[in-house]
Structure 1
Amino acid sequence: MIQKDEQLQYPWDCVACNQQNNYYLKQCQYCGTLKEQFFQQMKFDYLQNYNKDFSEIIIIDFDCNQAEDRKEILELLICKLKLSESDYNVAFSKQLIIKPFLIPLIQNPEYCSITQEQADQGVGFQETFQYLSGDIFIFENREKAKIYLQQCQYCNLKCPIQKYIEVRSVFPNSNGQLTVNAMLKQLKIPYQSDCFSLAEVVKELLDRSYRFELKMLQTLKFPIPEEEDRLQGFDNIIILDFEATCIREQNKKYLQEIIEFPAQVYNVQERKVIKEFWRYLKPVENPILSDFCTELTGITQEQVDKGILLDQAIDEFIQFKQGLQRYCILTCGDYDLNLLKKEASRKGIAIQKELQFYINIKKVFPKSLRNPKQIKDPCMVEMLEQCGLDLQGRHHSGIDDVRNITRIVHYLINEKQFKFDERMISYTFKI
């Protein structure tokens, strides 16, 4: 928990108790109110639309091709309704097959109505934007709106939709959890597998004089337009990469300990490394390194025997970064700081707030540089290749890995005008 006397770099005010909280916290540390409620209750500027009713509604639904935890829109359904004071009419209804971009092959083709040949001959996702001129967009639920936004991000496209209405949350007399099939059932609309079900729901609601209103709007941008102005980015990025004790066999009972603790500070304004930190640590739970560990990391038994303990390394690292302004730790994966958290917990060592927030460069590495056929997040070697950089030094040497990751950071900032900002933050604790 953040102490009251700490300076908050990115504060937000709780809507319930008006106390200030750190940007990274997901709920108020004083009363428990979710930060999401703060976002939802911030006021949009509706005055410009005050005398304007919706005249055109665009309903969007789709089916996805899914591989592991990533989804890509494969079949897109768009329906436009033109409204008048007394009636409405369907301006058009489009069913479009989208040519795969990230997931080239159809997964589980036996359950898919689209063949691989149809998918290969589909239209580009950007071509569907021409059908999106309207006053308001309607999605079935928030999850589908997010998938649509992610598709734009995957394709490096500016999302044409900024505000939308989620039918699930505004459906009359519901708890905000209904599926489309449940809505059809409540409205007594016969289910037909080939019908555009979400459009049928919306049209039936309009037939019953239901009104879609400005107050129902949600934003598709992160997290809200007003919040974009609060993002400042970082002056310094601390690149960190641990090496730990390990054995060849996979064994969940084996307790890993950090044995190499290297870091570099990259100053964004100066475009260079301004400080370096490098310590070997002495393991105490498994004090003898395995042959596999030495082969993998290049770290010898003599080096760790002369090393310092974890609590001393943390203290020296905290001292090392003293005086840095607006910084964030950056790692190549979620492993490093989660490993630190587990080991420190076992050994009764307190972990400062600064060692619980980080940016996982794998997650934020630009889509435009990724291999479109590669579904998983890229590893360090793949990121180097995609930046046109050679691997320098020894892979799995902590200090060499840090220096290589720093080169990736430098390339992204220098060559791609990439900005590391607060939206990218991950954290090792749960609230």
Structure 2
Amino acid sequence: MMEEQKENVEFPGEAKESEGVAGSAASPPFYQRKQRCRLDCQDDNQKKSMSSSSDFSDPIYKEISLTNGHINRMSRPELRAKLAEFKLDTRGEKDVLKKRLKNYYKKEKLMQKQPANAENYYDYICVIDFEATCEEGNQLEFTHEIIEFPIVLINTRTLEIEDTFQQYVKPVINPQLSDFCINLTGISQERVDKADEFPKVLQSVIDWMKQKELGSRYSYAILTDGSWDMSKFLNIQCRVNRLRYPAFAKKWINIRKSYGNFYKVPRNQTKLSTMLEKLGMDYDGRPHSGLDDSRNIAQIAIRMLQDGCELRVNETLYDGQLMTVPSSVPIGGAPVPQMPGFR
């Protein structure tokens, strides 16, 4: 869905996301703030413990540090030349190129010390970016319903898009799309009129994921562009259809948060268009098409994996509240998708 639309959406009875913290819910109840603080403190303490117990006296870390210092002094043409030498991508701004080269050297050095164990990572990442009914200005009382459900499947071993899923959804509360929505998404009234309602589409999604053996034979994680797709749009849609929230979608990777942390950039530089620009990539397709947006988000995720980023689940919906998943939590795939029961 349109980035500005997502950021401006407010839902009755729900707090708007805080502008100060990327992807965190604003002003949760006191007991949840206390719980979040406790989780964050545990995360910090574990990081400190891990840091102190790691053998950074090993000469290999000194080599990595010296190499990083050398890379910091390189010009953009020098960075591009060195990346080309290693057959790495040469697109992107200078800070991105430095990060890419540093991670390449670090990975090579550490692999010499101890081969990386790729078995602990997700086999697949499912990129999801919904399109929903909307009005110009997003009136508070307007209920947003999902009208396009796309999935782009990334194979994390080959770092390629392996398959895609797409179905349109018939809205029931506001069955007539606004002209603004049609122009924004490119989804016609005729298309949604002929589509199935959400419960049947969700069953098709689950059948497709099971066919791919996600959660059974292969581990996987969901990835989204921000917090809204899962914590807001899917959450509201399940309420509209009186469905329980599906267990397989309760945790996800917020790529905006991952991108900001990995490349050390502020929140205002983590919009889809900006991430693509900083990485030296162009948008491919029609903006605000759910499937095309998902494909472009997938390309950013692939580039980040290539640059050495370990994309991890970093957000969860817990008791209806958006919460951060500490980085100390071990990587674990989502469960086998199952159709949720009715409320």
Q: TM-score, normalised by structure 1?
A: 0.45
- Cα shift at 1:35: 8.6
Asked which structure has the greater RCO (Cα within 8 Å, sep 6+), the reply is: 2
> Which is helix-richer, 1 or 2?
2
Partner of 1:203: none
User: What whole-Å deviation, never above 9, does each CA across 1:247-302 have from its counterpart, x for those lacking one?
Assistant: 11331100110000011110101221222110000001000000000111010001
Partner of 1:245: 133
Partner of 2:239: 345
- Cα shift at 1:245: 0.4
Q: Following superposition of structure 1 onto structure 2, how do residues 97-246 of structure 1 map, counting pairs within 5 Å?
A: 232-246=120-134
In the alignment, the residues of structure 1 paired with residue 39 and residue 152 of structure 2 have an alpha-carbon distance, to the nearest angstrom, of 34
User: What whole-Å deviation, never above 9, does each CA across 1:69-104 have from its counterpart, x for those lacking one?
Assistant: xxxxxxxxxxxxxxxxxxxxxxxxxxxxxxxxxxxx
Partner of 2:222: 329
Secondary structure, aligned partner of 1:428: strand
Contact 1:331 1:361 in 2 (8 A): yes
Contact 2:125 2:156 in 1 (8 A): yes
Q: Following superposition of structure 1 onto structure 2, how do residues 255-274 of structure 1 map, counting pairs within 5 Å?
A: 255-274=143-162
In the alignment, the residues of structure 2 paired with residue 362 and residue 351 of structure 1 have an alpha-carbon distance, to the nearest angstrom, of 23
In the alignment, the residues of structure 1 paired with residue 309 and residue 40 of structure 2 have an alpha-carbon distance, to the nearest angstrom, of 30
User: Per the alignment, do residues 261 and 368 of structure 1 end up closer, same or farther by CA in structure 2, a change over 3 Å counting?
Assistant: closer
In the alignment, the residues of structure 1 paired with residue 300 and residue 283 of structure 2 have an alpha-carbon distance, to the nearest angstrom, of 11
Partner of 1:122: none
Secondary structure, aligned partner of 1:376: helix
In the alignment, the residues of structure 2 paired with residue 274 and residue 354 of structure 1 have an alpha-carbon distance, to the nearest angstrom, of 20
User: Per the alignment, do residues 36 and 298 of structure 1 end up closer, same or farther by CA in structure 2, a change over 3 Å counting?
Assistant: closer
Partner of 2:287: 395
Q: Tell me which amino acid in the other structure corresponds to 1:385.
A: E
Pair 1:280-2:163 in alignment: no
- Cα shift at 1:36: 5.0
> Which is strand-richer, 1 or 2?
1
- Give 2:308's match in structure 1, choosing from 417, 420, 427: 417
Q: Following superposition of structure 1 onto structure 2, how do residues 283-362 of structure 1 map, counting pairs within 5 Å?
A: 283-322=171-210, 323-324=213-214, 325-338=218-231, 339-362=233-256
User: What whole-Å deviation, never above 9, does each CA across 1:43-80 have from its counterpart, x for those lacking one?
Assistant: x99xx99xxxxxxxxxxxxxxxxxxxxxxxxxxxxxxx
Secondary structure, aligned partner of 1:252: coil
Secondary structure, aligned partner of 2:120: coil
Q: Tell me which amino acid in the other structure corresponds to 1:283.
A: P
Secondary structure, aligned partner of 1:313: helix
Contact 1:234 1:420 in 2 (8 A): no
In the alignment, the residues of structure 2 paired with residue 419 and residue 375 of structure 1 have an alpha-carbon distance, to the nearest angstrom, of 19
In the alignment, the residues of structure 1 paired with residue 145 and residue 241 of structure 2 have an alpha-carbon distance, to the nearest angstrom, of 11
User: Per the alignment, do residues 280 and 37 of structure 1 end up closer, same or farther by CA in structure 2, a change over 3 Å counting?
Assistant: closer
Contact 1:363 1:377 in 2 (8 A): no
User: Per the alignment, do residues 313 and 377 of structure 1 end up closer, same or farther by CA in structure 2, a change over 3 Å counting?
Assistant: farther
Q: CA RMSD in A?
A: 3.4
Secondary structure, aligned partner of 1:292: helix
User: Per the alignment, do residues 385 and 37 of structure 1 end up closer, same or farther by CA in structure 2, a change over 3 Å counting?
Assistant: closer
In the alignment, the residues of structure 1 paired with residue 243 and residue 261 of structure 2 have an alpha-carbon distance, to the nearest angstrom, of 38
Q: Runs of 5+ in structure 1 lacking a partner?
A: 1-31, 50-154, 157-228
Partner of 2:315: 426
Contact 2:123 2:220 in 1 (8 A): yes
Secondary structure, aligned partner of 1:273: strand
Contact 1:341 1:351 in 2 (8 A): yes
User: Per the alignment, do residues 256 and 368 of structure 1 end up closer, same or farther by CA in structure 2, a change over 3 Å counting?
Assistant: closer
In the alignment, the residues of structure 1 paired with residue 280 and residue 136 of structure 2 have an alpha-carbon distance, to the nearest angstrom, of 32
Contact 1:271 1:410 in 2 (8 A): yes
User: What whole-Å deviation, never above 9, does each CA across 1:330-378 have from its counterpart, x for those lacking one?
Assistant: 00011111211112113211222111111110001055646x5x55351
Contact 1:369 1:387 in 2 (8 A): no
- Cα shift at 1:304: 0.4
Contact 1:384 1:408 in 2 (8 A): yes
Q: Which contiguous aligned blocks of 4+ residues in structure 1 show a shift greater than 2 angstroms?
A: 34-42, 366-370, 374-377, 428-431
In the alignment, the residues of structure 2 paired with residue 249 and residue 35 of structure 1 have an alpha-carbon distance, to the nearest angstrom, of 38
Q: Which has the larger radius of gyration?
A: 1
Secondary structure, aligned partner of 2:268: coil
User: What whole-Å deviation, never above 9, does each CA across 1:197-235 have from its counterpart, x for those lacking one?
Assistant: xxxxxxxxxxxxxxxxxxxxxxxxxxxxxxxx9x93311
Contact 1:241 1:332 in 2 (8 A): yes
Q: Runs of 5+ in structure 2 lacking a partner?
A: 1-34, 54-97, 100-116, 321-343
Secondary structure, aligned partner of 2:318: coil
The count of aligned residue pairs is 216
Contact 1:369 1:386 in 2 (8 A): no
Q: Tell me which amino acid in the other structure corresponds to 1:274.
A: E
Secondary structure, aligned partner of 1:406: helix
Secondary structure, aligned partner of 1:410: helix
Secondary structure, aligned partner of 1:365: helix
- Cα shift at 1:428: 2.2
